[in-house]
Amino acid sequence: MARPLTLLLVRHGQSEWNAAGLMQGQTPHVPLTELGHAQAAAAARELALLCPGALLSSDLVRAVQTAEHCARATGLPVETTPALREQGYGLLEGRPSRELWDVVDWTDPHWAADGGESLAELHGRVAAFLKELCAEPPADVIALVTHGDTIRAAQAVAAGLGADAMPVVTPHNGTVTRLEICE
């Protein structure tokens, strides 16, 4: 039986689009705000105390900027991967988040916006990534800098739940969530 693998899931700090109330999804260029950098620095300090042996990040700017804070605090190099990206919202990206309540079918894990990704697809992407990570872990404790929906998907995968049973609570920006996986 494989040893448990500890994942330290870091949600990126507040981005300019978080502050403006806009749907980000996989929009690549959205940077952190000043508050976001402060949140990222605080998360990095917390992360350093947990002694990860590897640091992986989504390749979207807001996550990479957060991961850079984590790299400085831990002394680890950052490896980026598209597998840790946020759920893609396609044509809805850049629109005010409040408008989405009238458009998105939150009860259907297979619903996706035009050009976007469903929760089921996100869950599948994250499950495949975590399976690969468990097969060849770069360390026993791994920091993953990522996004809210991606963290919820990882929590579901670790608990053996499907896309229809993902946690509803999204961790706050700049927080660290600990998961044990591969038991």
Residue of 37, 68, 69, 86 with catalytic role: 86
**41-66: string of b/e by CB count within 10 Å (b at 16+)?**
bbbbebbbeeebebbbbbbbbbbbbb
pTM confidence score:
0.96
Over its C-alpha atoms, the chain yields an Rg (Å, rounded) of 16
CATH assignment at residue 75: 3.40.50.1240
Domain count, the chain: 1
For position 2, what pLDDT does the model report?
58
Q: Is 86 a catalytic residue?
A: yes
Considering the candidates 12, 37, 69, 123, report the single residue annotated as catalytic: 12
Q: Determine the structural domain holding residue 138 and report its residue range.
A: 5-181
Annotation says 123 is catalytic: no
Mean pLDDT per 10-residue interval, the chain, length 183 residues: 84 98 96 98 98 98 98 98 97 91 85 95 98 95 98 96 94 97 76
**What does the pLDDT look like over 113-147, one tens digit per residue?**
999 999 999 999 999 999 999 999 999 999 999 99
State the residue for tokens 């229809």: 164
